Amino acid sequence: MAEEVILLDFWCSPYGARVRIALAEKGVKYEYREEDLDDKSSLLLEMNPVYKMIPVLIHNGRPVCESLIAVEYIDEVWRGQFPLLPSDPYERAKAKFWGDFIEKKVHEPGKKTWKKKGAEQEEAKKEFIESLKLLEGELGDKPFFGGDTLGFVDIALIPFYTWFYSYEICGHFSIEAECPKFAAWAKRCMQKESVSKSLPDRQKVYGYVLELKKILGIE
Amino acid sequence: MAQGDVKLIGAWPSPFVLRARIALNVKSVDYEFLQEQFGAKSQLLLESNPVYKKIPVLIHESKPICESLIIVEYIDEVWSSGPSILPTDPYDRAVARFWAVYIDDKWFPAMKGLATAKGDEERKALVEQVGEGLGLLEEAYVKSSKGKAFFGGDEIGYLDIAFGSFLGWIRATEKMGGVELIDEANTPGLVKWAESFSSNPAVKDVLPETDKLVEFAKILQAKHSGSS
């Protein structure tokens, strides 16, 4: 049976980018469909009735929702040469732990670095940097969290990097200065074609953030 | 497997801890249950889960595994000769994981809110939210079970464990609030499922009694209002 793979996505969504990178790493051909988040397609509403959000991976007509669940699904269906998750159960558990950590401890405070001001912003910056430092510790001396190749945690994390530039400008701080190891890891990831081709230009993302700030009435 | 090899740091009222206990029971794994004292975190917990300092933590051969759903998957993978917890088909796995994440991210916060809700309006809104979630889970149950007893089919599986661990609290909330959350009218499938789940051998000895949870909730509420 011919495989039909469709990805409902939005150009600067880091969640969508995770799925794009995973598909690229596995060499899976798919149809990319850009959603207008202010006018969601009937397909999106049908395929993700619970959240009505992108990304949605549609494989042979069946939807897989939630970015990390989709990445794991891709890893299981297209096993191939380069597994994204380790085979050892303890290492897998660690990878999933850090994947989950990114949402709670990187994305959450990260958002506040451009959405908030004053003491709240300072607190968010502190938490954000602390989280990057913890991730640096987990990375250790490895080139990637996945070892020699991109793994689950790399894929879960690198898409947020294009947003970090906006955090730095809005929050007046430098990630490279605070977490040089992290910055070096990010550069290595960006050299991979599966990553660079899947991520939007960070200047474009910054432009989008400025638009959002206007809409939300943030200085 | 020697008992010393497997430890679980937890507390009896926690539905998240319960997930790990049920999974270990499904696999017939002997383990040492290290009960945390309410209000004071042990040194072992702080060392084993420095990032969140939360239970449950599974310690297997001195290695800590944190986050209840991750622990359940770990247990399934390590003790692979026992009955399977996750479905074998990748799509079914993705669906089961989706609902487990929904339960934790969307449904549980509403449930938790209900336990400490002040005022009838807030309470009513939360009951509606919880009810909506249960409606979705009823649909998921019908689709997933395909006429069998559990989300996982003939045997309890990942989603049974992820959701069933809240049964004690669902019943306690029903009792305390005088509401019906899982009922014949709206969630007939889940009514039957709840009976089957709570009487399952891997569950019945560890599922906390409704009355004990009600007592515990009262102590929690007293502490809340005492400190405000």
What is the predicted pLDDT for the residue at B76? 98
> Which of A57, A65, A85, A105 to substitute to test the interface with B, most B CBs within 10 Å?
A65
Adjacent-strand bridge partners of B76: none
- Cα separation, A103 vs A210, in Å, equals 22
What is the predicted pLDDT for the residue at A21? 98
- Rounded to 5°, angle at Cα A35 from A34 and A40: 160
Our CA-based measurement puts residue B211 at a distance from the nearest CA of chain A, in whole angstroms, of 33
Compute how many other C-beta atoms are within 10 angstroms of the C-beta atom of residue A41. 14
What is the predicted pLDDT for the residue at B1? 46
What does chain A look like in DSSP terms, one character per residue?
A: ----EEEEE-TT-HHHHHHHHHHHHTT---EEEE--TTS--HHHHHH-TTT--S-EEEETTEEEESHHHHHHHHHHHS--SS-SS-SSHHHHHHHHHHHHHIIIIIIHHHHHHHH--HHHHHHHHHHHHHHHHHHHHHHTT-SBTTBSS--HHHHHHGGGHHHHHHHHHHHT--HHHH-HHHHHHHHHHHTSHHHHTTS--HHHHHHHHHHHHHHHT--
Residue B96's closest chain A neighbor by CA? A69
Decide: helix, strand or coil at residue B35.
Answer: strand
- Cα separation, A56 vs A32, in Å, equals 11
Interchain CB distance below 8 Å, B101 and A66: yes
Q: B194 CB near a chain A CB, below 8 Å?
A: no
Compute how many other C-beta atoms are within 10 angstroms of the C-beta atom of residue B184. 10
Q: Which pTM was predicted? A: 0.96
For residues A66 and B98, is the Cβ–Cβ distance under 8 A? yes
Q: Which residue has the higher pLDDT, B1 or A118?
A: A118
Give the residue-averaged pLDDT of B71-79: 97
Our CA-based measurement puts residue A201 at a distance from the nearest CA of chain B, in whole angstroms, of 31
Our CA-based measurement puts residue B90 at a distance from the nearest CA of chain A, in whole angstroms, of 6
Under-50 pLDDT residues of chain A: none
Instruction: Find the CB nearest A134 among B51, B77, B102.
Output: B51
ipTM, 2 dp: 0.96
- Cα separation, B57 vs B60, in Å, equals 10
Tokens 């988040």, residue?
A37
* Among B54, B39, B53, CA closest to B224: B39
Burial of A118 (0-12, 13-18, 19+ CB in 10 A): exposed
Our CA-based measurement puts residue A92 at a distance from the nearest CA of chain B, in whole angstroms, of 8
What is the predicted pLDDT for the residue at A183? 96
Interchain CB distance below 8 Å, A66 and B136: no
**Rg value, chain B, Cα:** 18
What is the predicted pLDDT for the residue at A82? 85
B77 vs A contacts (CB less than 8 Å): 89, 92
Give the residue-averaged pLDDT of B176-199: 95
Interchain CB distance below 8 Å, A93 and B71: yes
B60 vs A contacts (CB less than 8 Å): 90
Residue B135's closest chain A neighbor by CA? A50
pLDDT at B28 over 50: yes
> A–B: how many Cβ contacts below 8 A?
53
Give the residue-averaged pLDDT of B161-168: 98
Q: Which residue has the higher pLDDT, B162 or B3?
A: B162
Interchain CB distance below 8 Å, A90 and B91: no
Percentage with pLDDT > 70 across chain B: 96
Q: Which residues of B111-127 are buried (b: 16+ CB within 10 A; e: fewer)?
A: beebbebeeeeeeeebb
Give the residue-averaged pLDDT of B83-96: 97
Q: B78 CB near a chain A CB, below 8 Å?
A: yes
Percentage with pLDDT > 90 across chain B: 85
Band of pLDDT at residue B56, cut at 50, 70 and 90: very high
The residues, any chain, with a CB within 8 Å of residue A95's CB and separated by 6 or more, are A85, A86, A145, A146, A151, A152, A153
Decide: helix, strand or coil at residue B34.
Answer: strand
Interchain CB distance below 8 Å, B63 and A90: yes
Interchain CB distance below 8 Å, B67 and A92: no
Our CA-based measurement puts residue A169 at a distance from the nearest CA of chain B, in whole angstroms, of 28
pLDDT at B126 over 60: yes
What is the predicted pLDDT for the residue at B226? 59
Residue A60's closest chain B neighbor by CA? B91
- Cα separation, A63 vs B68, in Å, equals 25
Residue B76's closest chain A neighbor by CA? A89
Interchain CB distance below 8 Å, A96 and B67: yes
Our CA-based measurement puts residue A157 at a distance from the nearest CA of chain B, in whole angstroms, of 17
Give the residue-averaged pLDDT of B144-150: 96
Give the residue-averaged pLDDT of B62-71: 98
Interchain CB distance below 8 Å, B94 and A101: no
What is the predicted pLDDT for the residue at A1? 54
